[in-house]
Chain A
Amino acid sequence: MALTDPIKIGVLFSETGVTSAIGRSQMQGTLLAVHEINDAGGIDGRELVPVYADPASDPSRYAALAERMIARDHVNTIFGCYMSSSRKAVIPVIEKWNKLLFYPTLYEGFEFSNNVIYTGAAPNQNSVQLAEFMTDNFGARVYLVGSDYIYPYESNRIMADLVLQHADSAKLGEAYVRLDASEQDFAPIIADIKSRQPDFIFSTVVGDATARFYRMYAQAGLDPRTMPIASLTTSEAEIAQMGAAASAGHFTSAPYFQAIDSELNRQCLARYRHHFGDHSTPNLCWESAYFQVHLYANAFRQAGDDALDTLLPHLLGSEFSAPQGRVKIDPANHHTWLYPRVGRVDAQGQFAIVREAKRAVQPDPYLVTHSLGDWTGRLERLEV
């Protein structure tokens, strides 16, 4: 291959289907980074060329399209996947061909593949911080609501474990809804919440159903000041779907919010809006999708190639100044050192950051028993 040839990369995010709001933003985050890299002269003069396909939120389509990108388009690296089911569908393909997947999504942990780089939060980088904040400020009687798949099951197990470490704690309910849940699916859950009066609700509802759940909560006249919803997945993208009125006062724990007060973040958002306008809403998964392409490009420059065995030594341990702060790929577990934060949705549909890690927190994807009060996960108090 000539040293001026373009470099093809696979981009595999759902632009349609139940998780398309996040999927589109991850796609845009990826393309922003590609744009920046190419504007700055590419990777040693070689243009980065994304090959896209829309798996439409369907795991089997993810697997088929990943295989096509590798076999037909000859890509060595794929950036993609949101739900765990999509990642699990792609990993066998990636491993079979010995290629590399960058996965820019928070997930439930308990996984390592030599062929995957995980740039979203592991539970020790978001759940522990959220449990600590919610129990400190609202109490430890929790009601768990989630979409019916593995991430919510496991997240709820961790949250219940954490919350139940408190005195006077209780799990008042645990309910699951289908991925495309309607208002009718949420009605009995909202009624149950209303009668049980938990201190807070932990929501692991994902995708388009998120907006329906928050709207139903608002319509039922429940008050976020006394019984807020806490989430790991309700980002600016879901808030844009449901509107600021339905989301104001609720909490989310994530390593990235648009509201992060740094010049680097503001410039990144400005560049994004300049190139892409309001096509999608930047959020935690957008940011991971963005910075992971830069990590890849930097490693490629050093390696001169993106064949897995050539690229990996330069990728592992590498760092990048991302909008959330300086992140680093952990060489031992391929996950990423990130900055846990807790934000409360304000009247404009943005997050006011109320807690923030001053140092990056090491990813620990195989942690079974999380502990409240673990100082390695302690966050700085910003307000509230």
Chain B
Amino acid sequence: MVSKNASVGTQTLRVTPALLKDLRMLRVAVFHPDDADGAQLVQQLQRIGCQVQAFWPPLPQLPEGVELVFLAVRPDIIALDFAWCSGENSPALVAVVAYENPTIVEAVLRIGAKAILPAPVRSFGLLSALVLARQLNGQIGTQAKRIVKLELKLAGQRNVLEATRILSVSRGISDDAAFDLIRNQAMAKRVTKEEIATAIVNANDVLNFAR
């Protein structure tokens, strides 16, 4: 067999994605009526090797350790709100849909589904939907944490600037010298510059109170 990349000297090492490797440990909740589609869904998840629990109607709280939820978005439940589908550590959600009209699509968007599985459920396509939903959910979770960190950092830097100004004025030193003072304090106390800066700004507020 002739490889298309025969001319390329280097070999790429193909690593199986972790999302596929941990399928066997994956705890899945299936919220679907006990009908042909529900059975097909559970059986295919079991073939893949996931740990499956199935319920209908949907539970208000998820069983312990569930990382992925399949939810039948049926006309009779679209008005319901589930606490587990919004929130910081919500599991990846795959919507199982039999209708494609705007009413149902809107419900799918509202509950924050990360993938769609059309009904009637077929075994083919389920694995891809499952992995895609988990990847998206993971990425969104990571990004949300990163955004929180960056926002804190940004707010902290504003404080560092403010603290530098307070020090340079009160001690009659240059901005550079004031900044060095903050940095040295942070190193000595083994905390971040931002924390020292926040302490200075807060102290300044207190000292200037009602002046």
Name A's B-contacting residues (CB within 8 A). 60, 84, 88, 92, 95, 108-111, 148-150, 153-154, 157, 368
Contacts and interface: CB of A to CB of B under 8 A. Distances in A.
Contacts of A108: 101, 103
B75 A149 contact: yes
A18 to B, nearest CB: 16
B76 A110 contact: no
14 contacts: A88-B99, A92-B120, A95-B120, A110-B101, A111-B100, A148-B76, A150-B75, A150-B99, A150-B103, A150-B104, A153-B75, A153-B78, A154-B101, A154-B102
Contacts of A153: 75, 78, 103
B121 to A, nearest CB: 10
B98 interface: yes
A52 B120 CA distance: 25
B101 to A, nearest CB: 4
B37 to A, nearest CB: 9
Contacts of B120: 92, 95
Contacts of A149: 75-76
A368 B101 CA distance: 8
Contacts of B76: 148-149
Nearest to A149: B75
Task: Sort A-B residue pairs by CB-CB distance and give the 8 closest, nearest first.
Answer: A110-B101, A92-B120, A150-B75, A153-B103, A154-B103, A154-B101, A110-B100, A108-B101
Chain B at the A interface: SS class: loop
B9 to A, nearest CB: 50
A285 B147 CA distance: 56
Interface in B1-40: 35
Contacts of A92: 120
Contacts of B104: 150
Contacts of A157: 102-103
Given A92-B120, A150-B104, A110 B75 contact: no
Nearest to A369: B102
Nearest to A123: B101
Interface in B69-101: 75-76, 78, 98-101
Nearest to A108: B101
Contacts of A111: 99-101
B146 to A, nearest CB: 35
A110 B98 contact: no
Q: Which of A84, A110, A153 has the most CB of B within 10 A?
A: A153
A149 B78 CA distance: 10
B69 to A, nearest CB: 22
Given A84-B99, A149-B75, A150-B101, 14 more contacts: A60-B35, A95-B120, A108-B101, A108-B103, A109-B101, A110-B99, A110-B100, A111-B100, A150-B75, A153-B75, A153-B103, A154-B103, A157-B102, A368-B102
Contacts of B35: 60
Contacts of A109: 101
Contacts of B101: 108-111, 150, 154
A368 B76 CA distance: 22
A157 B98 CA distance: 18
A62 B14 CA distance: 50
A88 B98 contact: yes
